[in-house]
């Protein structure tokens, strides 16, 4: 199975630390997943590795095979993955604009019928927990339903070093159990959805909206249509 960890920050550093705090958290998640599951490969998706065009144009807005190489490469990785871990700081009680921008470039058909896990962090005491509320609805709309357990890491710079290892003096066992609670749920749902996708192609049961915006609209009678025109 293949899991993708999305790093939700493009900052090169996180004051007062010279390193990226989100990168520490993402690496810690990767290490935990790899230590817990023998059947999972894990890749960190760093937005800095996928430069986007200055004017927003999502992957699905390009003609087939004409999307920029970074977008096409990431779209293929998203489609082939079995589950996702979304790592985000908190901005104004919401998820990271960098993470939202990156995910908005891809249609829900790539993420759909899979599971996801929410991981938030901060240098303060709340661990980015308020961002997770916003992330639940966002990920549900993408079709990768978030598992119930979430991970919130307050003062993350006091928990992980730059390589994602636990710092000296930290209760590593308790932290590992805390992370594993969420990832065990994620793995369970990933296995279940993978098995179900092998039995039945979900995109044939409920085809994605791929042609017109009004495909999402509820049916209306001819009288309702005339009233809208008037």
**Residue 226: inside a domain, yes or no?**
no
Closest by CA to 8, choosing from 36, 37, 62, 45, is 45
- Running DSSP on this structure, what letter comes out for residue 91? B
Closest by CA to 59, choosing from 46, 85, 77, is 77
Query: Which pLDDT belongs to residue 52?
Result: 86
> For residues 132 and 123, what is the distance between their CA atoms, to the nearest angstrom?
16
**Residue 222: inside a domain, yes or no?**
no
**Residue 221: inside a domain, yes or no?**
no
Question: CB within 8 A of 53, min separation 6: which ones?
Answer: 68
**Residue 224: inside a domain, yes or no?**
no
Report residues of the chain scoring pLDDT below 50: none
What's the domain range around 89?
2-215
Question: Residue 23 burial (CB < 10 Å; 0-12/13-18/19+)?
Answer: buried
The answer to whether the CB of 90 falls within 8 A of the CB of 130 is: yes
Closest by CA to 180, choosing from 2, 35, 79, is 35
The reply to whether omega before 16 is within 30° of 0 (cis) is: yes
> For residues 175 and 105, what is the distance between their CA atoms, to the nearest angstrom?
33
The total number of structural domains in the chain stands at 1
- DSSP, collapsed to helix, strand or coil, labels residue 115 as strand
Query: Which pLDDT belongs to residue 34?
Result: 97
- CATH of residue 67: 3.40.50.360
pTM over 0.85: yes
Q: Is the dihedral of CA 21, 23, 24, 30 positive or negative?
A: positive
- DSSP, collapsed to helix, strand or coil, labels residue 191 as helix
Query: Which pLDDT belongs to residue 77?
Result: 98
> For residues 139 and 199, what is the distance between their CA atoms, to the nearest angstrom?
24
Max Cα–Cα distance, the chain, nearest Å: 71
> For residues 28 and 160, what is the distance between their CA atoms, to the nearest angstrom?
7
Query: Which pLDDT belongs to residue 165?
Result: 97
**Residue 223: inside a domain, yes or no?**
no
């Amino acid at each position: 199975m293949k899991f993708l960890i999305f790093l939700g920050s493009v900052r090169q550093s996180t004051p007062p630390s010279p390193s990226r705090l989100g990168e520490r958290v993402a690496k810690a998640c990767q290490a935990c997943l790899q230590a817990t599951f023998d059947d999972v490969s894990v890749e960190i998706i760093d937005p800095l590795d996928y430069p986007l065009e200055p004017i927003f144009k999502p992957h699905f807005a390009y003609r087939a095979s004409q999307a920029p190489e970074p977008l096409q490469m990431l779209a293929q990785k998203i489609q082939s993955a079995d589950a996702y871990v979304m790592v985000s700081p908190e901005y104004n009680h919401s998820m990271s604009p960098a993470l939202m921008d990156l995910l908005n470039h891809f249609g829900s058909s790539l993420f759909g019928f899979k599971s996801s896990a929410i991981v938030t962090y901060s240098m303060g005491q709340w661990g980015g927990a308020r961002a997770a509320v916003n992330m639940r609805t966002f990920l549900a709309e993408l079709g990768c339903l978030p598992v119930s357990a979430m991970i919130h890491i307050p003062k993350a710079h006091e928990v992980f070093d730059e390589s994602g290892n636990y710092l000296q003096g930290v209760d590593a066992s308790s932290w590992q159990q805390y992370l594993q609670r969420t990832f065990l749920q994620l793995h369970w749902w990933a296995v279940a959805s993978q098995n179900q996708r092998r039995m039945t192609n979900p995109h044939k049961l409920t085809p994605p909206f791929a042609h017109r915006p009004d495909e999402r609209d509820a049916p209306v009678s001819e009288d309702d249509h005339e009233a809208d025109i008037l």
